[in-house]
Amino acid sequence: MTTSNDLMELKEDKIREKYPLAETMLEGFDHTPRIAAKREPDRVQERSPGLGTRRRFRSTTPGLVTRSTARPEGVQLSQRILESNDDALTSPLQASLLRSLRRALSVAQVASDQFGDQTGLADLKRSNLAGTLDASRKDRFQQLLSASALISLHVFANMTDFLLSGLLSASQETDIQCGEVEEILIDNDQLALHGTLWELDQEIASADIETDAQLIGLVTSFCEQLMEKVALRAEGNSLLQPFTDARYRVEADEFEITGFTPAARARSTSLAMAFKKPEEVVGNHIAKYQAMKLSKMLMAYDFERKLNPFAELGGFIFTFMGDGKPGTGKTTLIQMMAGLINDYCSNAGYPFRYQNLSTDSIDSYQGKSAQNAKAFIRTVTDPNVIGFGTIDDIDQLAGKRGDRQSSAGQLEITAVLMESFAGANTVVRGNCTFGMFSNYPENVDDALRQRAGARFLVDGPQTREDYIDILHLLIGKNHSIPTGDHDLFEAQAIKKAVAASYDRHSRPQEDALMKVFENVEAGIGRLDTIAKLGTYLKAIQEADERFTGRAIKNITDAIKVRAMDFELPDEWMEDPELFLFKDYETKRSMIADLAQPITVDMVIQEINRYADSEFRYADKSDEVAIDNAVRDMQRMEEAKRRFMEMSRS
């Protein structure tokens, strides 16, 4: 093992030593399932009389299964893969799949051995084989064996998924999904791998596979589900800390192991999107400014350290909510931000991945909606890419708990998003951000909405100047109409417009919040101390019980963003050598030098901005609830009237 940039290298010679054992597992072994049931194939391949079969892998190891066995529990995954379609010759994709499985099995065993050396498991194994393991150590021995099994399973699935992720082009990718992964055995690492290979063999046998692309898609789906289930079992297991605290690298494959985090091969998403330039976004000054800042913040991410200095120093926006009336520019804002990040990444040579979670993700099949949402989160949070995830019309996509109109699929998505955005295992590296957008944020579940760390009010053009600018922009150039008494886009000068927008929040905008503000200020004077600001926060909570500790955290995060109220210079994006390609500590120092101190005005403005949005949502939510109640009462009265008429007749 060598250490380089805090990565421990898994030696190539150790990996290749495991090849014979990996090949043996692929060629054949016996396994009797303990959890999963044997699947029946959907179809039986027929061959013409006299047609030769494929070349066969015959083992010379005593006790292993051969092709002639009649035992139903025998597993020959190599042969199963080669017989997955009707072609008598081995295809390049089949060969790549087999090589990937062999490689992943070998790396999994090396990672397991490394864990055994770190924790003393290797010594316990030797004592157990010699019959000298005393009873006092048996419990720890079994616990370490289970931990080692979890490591083997996750590394195997992780590396297989990683190696296969670059095999298919976008046109070849399929949506084939495997069934429920059940045969997860953690008695020891060898049994664990046997169990998962048996179940993969069953999946391939029972699936209706017609192409190699479908075969690769099925194996990838299996690996992704296996990783999720193993990661859940690993949660809270303190014995796994030596594995989760370290980072490993397989140099030949550029594969990194970071605990139980998937490491899908970094590749950019080819975006078919009409990007917008910042000058094409009229109005929405604060939202536009923060989106521009956030786009540059993402670029400060350090791929070696897997961390962004902004995430460490404070001021990084992991999740934000953009709300406004229909037609005010939410889609335009998404197009602008995606375009900026795409251009910055292209210039720096960074992989960029954009993903939108749409209503197509809601599925009537139980658990599928959650699976789609998890795949969305996993794609965007991949630590090897710069990610931007959007959830447009989130009020339609994520269900509101307690709302009878929310489907099971919508509630599944709500649960996944809540856990992913602010759950116990949420890790904010600073390589990605998620934007939730809605015309009706009052219909979003309160707890999910509060997981949005920043609020972007997307209210569109507001002033006379805004409307002149947007008319000039949209009407195009095919005219000779004079502009008149107006300086085009002068009102869109971002610094000037943002300063004016922030100043407006020195006092609340919502009537209900204004009453709270005025009462507090009348009682204790100007809000110029921590104690007075805290008194104001408590008064807000008394007026709206939904204003909880999470709201305070979101406000303080927004204040820290204001302390970082600067845009990274454009030249830093244009010439990566000036900033992007610097080491982590240098980038951190350069950012810290640009920060400014927090002021009372900043705190008051951010409290008002956040509280205004909550009061705005609450008012709308209450009105909607009242309207619904009135309609229910009217329907009931009409039903009673008709019932009485029927009874009389």
Q: Is residue 351 part of a domain?
A: yes
DSSP character string of 149-189: HHHHHHHHHHHHHHHHTTTS-TTT--------------S-H
3-state secondary structure 552-573: HHHHHHHHHHHHCCCCCCHHHH
Mean pLDDT of 514-532: 92
The residue among 264, 286, 312 that closes a domain is 264
Q: Are 256 and 300 members of one domain?
A: no
Please check whether residues 290 and 191 belong to one and the same domain. Answer: no
What pLDDT was estimated at residue 329?
Answer: 75
Sheet holding 432-438, edge to edge: 352-356, 386-391, 432-438, 319-323, 454-457
Q: How close are the terminal C-alpha atoms of the chain, in Å?
A: 91
The mean pLDDT of 411-421, rounded to a whole number, is: 90
Q: Is residue 309's pLDDT more than 90?
A: yes
What single letter denotes the amino acid at residue 478?
N
Residue 648 located in a structural domain: no
Are 484 and 397 in the same domain? yes
One domain, residues 249 and 378: no
Out of 108-117, 191-200, 212-221, 482-491, which region has the weakest mean confidence (pLDDT)?
482-491
More confident residue, 570 or 173: 570
Give the pLDDT mean for 587-613: 88
pLDDT at res. 594: 85
Mean pLDDT on 178-200: 92
- Domain that includes residue 28, residue range: 1-32+108-264
pLDDT at residue 283, as a whole number = 67
Question: Highest-confidence range of 21-25, 130-134, 268-272, 281-285, by mean pLDDT?
Answer: 21-25
Q: Is residue 99 part of a domain?
A: no
Mean pLDDT of the chain: 82
Cβ-count burial of 267 within 10 angstroms (0-12 exposed, 13-18 middle, 19+ buried)? middle
Q: Highest-confidence range of 78-82, 87-91, 107-111, 481-485, by mean pLDDT?
A: 107-111
The dihedrals phi and psi of 122, each to the nearest 5 degrees, come to -60, -40
| 256 and 153, same domain (yes or no) | yes
Q: Are residues 244 and 387 in the same domain?
A: no
Q: Over 50: is that where the pLDDT of 180 sits?
A: yes
pLDDT of 416 over the 80 cut: yes
Co-location of 319 and 255 in the same domain = no
In this model, does residue 567 exceed pLDDT 80? no
Q: How confident is the model at residue 436 (pLDDT cuts 50, 70, 90)?
A: very high
Both 259 and 296 in one domain: the answer is no
* pLDDT given at position 2: 37
CATH number at residue 313: 3.40.50.300
Task: Note whether 168 and 216 are within 8 A (CB).
Answer: yes
Q: Is residue 57 part of a domain?
A: no
Question: Is residue 76 scored above 70 in pLDDT?
Answer: yes
CA atoms within 13 A on the CB side of 344: 30
Report, as an integer, the average pLDDT of 600-628. Answer: 76
Q: What is the pLDDT of residue 271?
A: 56
pLDDT of amino acid 645: 84
- Sequence letter at residue 394: I
pLDDT band of 173, cuts 50, 70, 90? low
pLDDT > 70 fraction of the chain, expressed in percent and rounded? 85
- Write down the pLDDT at residue 623: 59
300 shares a domain with 441: yes
Assigned domain for 80 exists: no
For residues 544 and 557, what is the distance between their CA atoms, to the nearest angstrom?
Answer: 21
Q: Is residue 37 part of a domain?
A: no
Separation CA 10–CA 257 (nearest Å): 10
For the ranges 180-184, 249-253, 544-548, the lowest mean pLDDT is seen at 544-548
**Whether 258 and 367 share a structural domain:** no
CB atoms near residue 502 (< 10 Å): 19
Residue that finishes a domain, picked among 238, 264, 290: 264
**Structure token digits, residue 96:** 């790549």
Among 208, 234, 264, the domain boundary falls at 264
State phi, psi for 96 to the nearest 5 degrees.
-65, -40
Q: Where is average pLDDT lowest: 234-248, 367-381, 485-499, 626-640?
A: 485-499
% of the chain surpassing 90 pLDDT: 34
Question: What is the per-residue pLDDT for 153?
Answer: 96
Lowest mean pLDDT, pick from 200-214, 321-335, 430-444, 495-509: 495-509
pLDDT score, position 481: 86
* 189/328 same-domain check: no
Residues 231 and 282 in one domain: no
Q: Residue 163 pLDDT more than 60? A: yes
Instruction: Report if residue 214 sits inside a domain.
Output: yes
pLDDT at 548: 81
Mean pLDDT, residues 584-601: 89
Calculate the dihedral angle through the C-alpha atoms of 24, 116, 125, 75, rounding to the nearest 10 degrees.
Answer: -20
The answer to whether residue 447 scores a pLDDT higher than 60 is: yes
pLDDT at 579 over 80: yes
Give the pLDDT confidence of 465-515 residue by residue, as tens digits: 778 877 887 787 788 888 888 877 666 656 656 666 677 888 888 888 999
630 domain-assigned = no
The predicted model gives 227-242 an average pLDDT of 87
Given its phi and psi angles, is residue 349 left (phi above 0), alpha (psi -120 to 50 degrees) or beta? left
Domain count, the chain: 2
